[in-house]
Amino acid sequence: MNLDKFEEATEAVKKVTLRTKLIYSEYFSKNSGNKVYLKPENMQYTGAYKVRGAYYKISTLSQKDRNKGLITASAGNHAQGVAYAAKLYNAKAIIVMPNTTPLIKVNRTKSYGAEVILYGDVYDEACDYAYQLAKEMGYTFIHPFNDLDIATGQGTIAMEIFKDLPTIDIILAPVGGGGLLAGVAALAKQLNPNIKVIGVEPDGAACMKASLEAGQVLTIDHIDTIADGTAVKTPGNVVFPYIQEYVDEIITVDDCELIVNFLDMIENHKMVVENSGLLTVAALKKLKCKDKKVACILSGGNMDIITVSSVVQHGLIQRGRVFTVSVQLPDRPGELLNVASIIAKEQGNVIRLDHNQFVSINRNSAVELTITMETFGHEHKQQIVDALISAGYKPKICQPNKIYD
């Protein structure tokens, strides 16, 4: 991956990409102590950066190889990139996706004319099956990350970052299999050897960190993360040497941080960014520096509504904006009104109420009232609990089962 190749790829991907200029974030800058710029690849036509590598790779193929039909495996974003690029070249595309792939990614992939096959629970299982089909049917396999042409196409992101902000100090890139990180790091270090390039992956799928620490490509045993786009067990052996040479550090983040940052991104930048794309902003608090210019690559924004709903509700709970409290009280007129009055006085907003008369044999002795309410945060939440205690109740905070019907 040399500068000539990156320049060639940069010109090629202009045909299929939007120019996603850096966005300065006052919010993330203030919270991190650095000058944070967002690279919004979630705004691409296909909803993610993956179209860069897919299109550039397909552009380098011979017409004979394209005519064989193109096949790949993907958790969603590479699938859409290949399907879209194949459509532009009038080539047949077959995409193998894990059964866990969000519906929006499956439907969008089909909308570009690709044939979608759902197989396996994680990317690696889908990839093995795609290889099998390629061998049996003679298809041309387009790997989502373990390919230097793919990585070169993804690396064009770094070219755009440098054009927008030549004095950038740090680039944060999500990492699953390593194609994006290898391409971005290889180009960035050639343009400025002093820049720091940091990969970010979820705690529950930290295959790259484990491999770098071992000095060789490793396969992790188990994946457990909501960041489906980076849920990879084995990093690419072709791109791995470039990551070893050019990447300064790997940071891992917990899924809970992704949930909180999803809300932060919506509230402060009015953008929907998928969990894998949020890895970079979630890592900002783990940087051991201040006053540096940091570019965070937001790799994609393809989320189905059910996932969005789930992440929002979990985020509200984590922030203390919604909580559930259970109190036991005598089953007599006025008790429910009394509890409601206490909550209203403290400005809690009740959104769900359950009245259970069967917690005790003698319901005159005790019934259970479970209340879910909206608050202004953890301090306000505690204020309401304290008010209930002062009134003689024994409130117990519970995990909400369902917030909004």
Active centre residues (catalytic) = 50, 299
DSSP letters spanning 14-45: TTT------EEEHHHHHHHSSEEEEEEGGGST
Residues 193/167, Cβ–Cβ less than 8 Å: no
Query: Shortest CA distance to 379 belongs to which of 313, 324, 320, 315?
Result: 320
d(CA 190, CA 171): 14
| CB count in 10 Å sphere of residue 361 | 7
Tokens of residue 394, six digits:
């024994």
Q: Is 294 helix (H, G, I), strand (E, B) or coil?
A: strand
The helix/strand/coil state of 365 is coil
CA separation, residue 392 to residues 328, 382, 398 (Å): 11, 16, 19
Residue 399 Cα to chain centre, angstroms: 24
Contacts of 361 (CB under 8 A, 6+ apart): none
Phi, psi of 373 (to 5 degrees): -145, 160
* Residue pair 13/52 in contact by the 8 Å Cβ criterion: yes
Kindly give the interhelix angle for 51-60 and 3-13, rounded to the nearest 10 degrees. 110
Q: Could you tell me the sign of the dihedral formed by the alpha carbons of 376, 382, 387, 392, in that order?
A: positive
Quote the CA–CA distance of 234 and 206 in Å, as a whole number.
9
Cα 146 to Cα 248: distance, rounded to the nearest angstrom: 20
